[in-house]
Amino acid sequence: MRRTAPAALLAVALAAGLLAGCGGSGSGDVNARLAVSSAYMPQPVSASMAAGFLTIVNDGGAKDELTSVTSDIAGDVTVHETVGGAMREVQRLTVPAHGRLVLASGGNHLMFEDLKRRPRQGQTVAVELHFAASGPVTVEMPVKPATYTPATGH
Ligand code: CU
């Protein structure tokens, strides 16, 4: 666990002697605590481009930001949002404290370009998520049928 805490906070904690019993619990609420669920990639219909969806849940008391994504199957992975039916690339998406960031069909999504191989249904695609504060998170994203939509729907 590599968590960076502001130096001032550390100084206060030291002054109060709180670090003496620091086992990692209790102080966690000043950090984001991220977990990824519902990740999938619809089997791409294009040989060069694919989309990916997932949900990032933050149980911590601080927000974080998804800043970049990498994958060994794609030369480039970008984060897109959909506004008024048109998608555009964004530099970061916020994962709110005690909240979630949802990437779902018709909304925010990952865009894989310059594919090195074409993912097939039943395979998995490894994706590494990079955040402003938290360490990187690796996700094994299952490849679903091209028409797949999760039960929780659109
Ligand atoms: Cu897109």
Instruction: State whether 63 and 15 are in the same domain.
Output: no
- Residue 105 sits in a domain whose CATH number is 2.60.40.1890
Q: How many whole angstroms from 25 Cα to the centroid of ligand 1?
A: 39
149 lies in a domain? no
The reply to whether 48 and 12 lie within a common domain is no
Q: How many angstroms does the Cα of residue 83 sit away from the middle of ligand 1? A: 11
For the chain, how many structural domains are there in total? 2
CA 67 from centre of chain: 9
In a domain, 8, yes or no: yes
Q: What confidence tens digit (pLDDT) does each residue in 33-50 have?
A: 999 999 999 999 999 999
Please compute, for residue 82, the number of CA atoms within 13 A of its CA located in the half-sphere on the CB side. Answer: 13
CA of 33 to the centre of ligand 1 (A): 27
| Cα 109 to ligand 1 centroid, rounded to whole Å | 6
- The answer to whether position 150 is within a domain reads no
Ligand 1 centre and the CA of 80: distance in Å? 5
CB 84 within 8 A of CB 33: no
21 and 52 inside one domain: no
User: Which pLDDT tens digit goes with each residue over 82-127?
Assistant: 999 899 999 999 999 999 999 999 999 999 999 999 999 999 999 9
Calculate how far, in angstroms, residue 62's C-alpha sits from the geometric centre of ligand 1. 28
The residue range of the domain holding 16 is 1-28
Predicted confidence (pLDDT) per residue in 55-80, tens digit:
999 999 999 999 999 999 999 999 99
- Does 70 lie in the same domain as 132? yes
User: In 47-147, where do the E strands start and end?
Assistant: 49-58, 64-71, 74-83, 86-90, 93-95, 99-103, 109-115, 124-131, 137-144
The predicted model gives 1-12 an average pLDDT of: 53
Claim to verify: residue 78 and residue 121 sit in the same structural domain? yes
- Going from the Cα of 107 to the center of ligand 1, the distance in angstroms, rounded, reads 9
Please give the model's pTM, rounded to 2 decimal places. 0.79
